[in-house]
């Protein structure tokens, strides 16, 4: 079976007219060496939806992960999807469509697509206003939000907590920049005035074996 449905979802241009959009490329740092890259794109649509697209590509070409998330103007998830390539060949992919009470999960593996629909657990917090921080909204230092996120690797919901710490000065490529620091359950990020990352510290067990630092080129 063709995987065009997933490639189209992840890689096709976004059709909703944009109020604002931006993209940056970050180095994956391994000490003083660059071992890969992360490309991050954000788009705020005319309908208020926020689309985030991230692609992680190790320098050795061993694998690549592309992740797309679309949230409504009030912060609820509408669609999430990822495509994992291993050695340049398609390995697996997942796409999740969210409704107020139901979610549909479509998976692609070994050339086969399977879809199933299930209920979103009662009490799940879907609204994630922090996704719009500095893209559209400007929180005060100390602002904290908690929400539930569906993990497409474990296929389980997890509680996420995000806090805006405040402004910090970073040294990026021998130049100083002012950045907004955001502490989350699994990572730390420093973003610019538009919400695009200067630096990310992530732990991504399913693509990278250890805590990884990404820094803007």
pLDDT over 50 at 60, yes or no: yes
Considering Cα of 55, then 188, then 14, then 128, what sign does the dihedral take?
A: positive
Q: What is the pLDDT of residues 70-89, one digit of tens each?
A: 999 999 999 999 888 776 55
Q: What is the enclosing helix (H) or strand (E) of 148? A: strand 144-151
52: Cα separation from own chain's centroid: 6
Q: Give the pLDDT of residue 5.
A: 42
Euclidean distance between CA atoms 55 and 99, whole angstroms: 26
pTM beyond cutoff 0.85: yes
CA distance 75 to 48: 10
More confident residue, 103 or 14: 103
- State the Cα–Cα distance between residues 206 and 216, nearest whole angstrom: 23
What are residue 184's phi and psi, to 5 degrees? -120, 180
State the pLDDT confidence band at 197, using cuts at 50, 70 and 90: very high
Neighbours of 69 (CB within 10 A): 19
CA distance 141 to 164: 5
Q: Which of 13-22, 101-110, 151-160 has the lowest mean pLDDT?
A: 13-22
CA 102 centroid distance within chain = 22
What confidence tens digit (pLDDT) does each residue in 37-57 have? 999 999 999 999 999 999 988
Scan for tokens 């100390």, then name that residue.
142
Is pLDDT above 90 for 91?
A: no
Give the torsion through C-alpha atoms of 120, 51, 61, 38, to 10 deg. -110
Q: Is the pLDDT of residue 138 over 50?
A: yes
**Distance separating alpha carbons of residues 44 and 25, to the nearest angstrom:** 19
Domain count, the chain: 1
Q: Which of 24-33, 80-89, 180-189 shows the lowest mean pLDDT across its residues? A: 80-89
User: Quick one: pLDDT band at residue 11, thresholds 50, 70, 90?
Assistant: very low
CA–CA distance, 147 with 74 (Å, rounded to integer):
13
Domain assignment of residue 190, given as a range: 4-216
- Range scoring the smallest mean pLDDT among 7-11, 134-138, 181-185: 7-11
Q: Percentage of the chain surpassing pLDDT 70?
A: 88
Per-residue pLDDT at 205 exceeds 80: no
In this predicted structure, the answer to whether residue 92 has a pLDDT above a threshold of 70 is yes
């Amino acid at each position: 079976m063709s995987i065009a449905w997933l490639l189209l979802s992840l890689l096709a241009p976004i059709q909703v007219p944009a109020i604002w959009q931006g993209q940056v490329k970050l180095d994956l740092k391994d000490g003083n060496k660059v071992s890969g890259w992360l490309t991050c794109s954000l788009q705020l649509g005319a309908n208020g939806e926020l689309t985030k697209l991230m692609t992680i590509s190790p320098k050795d070409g061993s694998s690549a992960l592309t992740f797309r998330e679309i949230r409504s103007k009030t912060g609820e998830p509408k669609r999430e999807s990822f495509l994992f390539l291993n050695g340049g060949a398609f390995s697996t992919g997942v796409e999740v469509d969210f409704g107020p009470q139901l979610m549909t999960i479509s998976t692609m593996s070994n050339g086969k697509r399977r879809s199933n629909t299930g209920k979103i657990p009662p009490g799940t917090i879907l609204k994630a206003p922090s996704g719009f921080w500095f893209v559209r909204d400007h929180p005060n230092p100390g602002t904290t939000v908690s929400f539930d996120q569906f993990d497409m690797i474990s296929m389980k919901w997890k509680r996420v907590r995000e806090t805006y710490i405040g402004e910090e000065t970073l040294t990026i490529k021998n130049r100083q920049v002012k950045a907004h620091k955001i502490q989350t359950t699994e990572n730390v990020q420093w973003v610019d005035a538009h919400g695009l990352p200067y630096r990310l510290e992530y732990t991504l067990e399913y693509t990278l074996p250890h805590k990884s630092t990404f820094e803007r080129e």
